[in-house]
């Protein structure tokens, strides 16, 4: 998947979260509010696949055990 397509997906998720949050604030019905809150939480757990060089991407390195040098 290209980086441009992934940015479109990311921003679509953000826009849908904000629109659900807006409806959540306006609505007074308890069941609708719980449903909207569940949707917002589920959307926040959608994995954003960031391309190489994207900000916030962690590079996980395997650490080698340290070699202990004895002074004689």
pLDDT on residue 7: 80
Query: Does the predicted TM-score (pTM) go above 0.85?
Result: no
Is 59 within the bounds of a domain? no
List of residues 6+ apart from 20 with CB closer than 8 A: 36, 39, 40, 43
Q: Say how many domains are in the chain.
A: 1
Q: Evaluate whether residue 11 is within a structural domain.
A: yes
Q: Which structural domain range is residue 20 located in?
A: 3-44
| Tokens, residue 12 | 């679509």
Q: Has residue 13 been placed in a domain?
A: yes
pLDDT digits (tens, 9 = 90+) for 2-60: 777 778 888 888 888 899 889 989 988 899 899 998 888 888 777 655 555 555 555 55
Residue 62 lies in a domain: no
User: What local confidence, expressed as pLDDT, does residue 44 receive?
Assistant: 78
What is the rounded CA–CA span in Å between residue 67 and residue 63? Answer: 12
Q: Tokens in use for 32?
A: 């609708």
């Amino acid at each position: 998947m290209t980086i441009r397509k992934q940015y479109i997906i990311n921003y679509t998720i953000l826009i849908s979260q904000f629109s659900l949050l807006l409806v959540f604030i306006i609505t007074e019905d308890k069941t609708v509010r719980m449903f909207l809150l569940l949707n917002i939480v589920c959307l926040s757990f959608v994995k954003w696949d960031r391309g190489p060089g994207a900000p916030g991407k962690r590079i996980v390195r395997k650490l080698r055990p340290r070699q202990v040098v004895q002074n004689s």
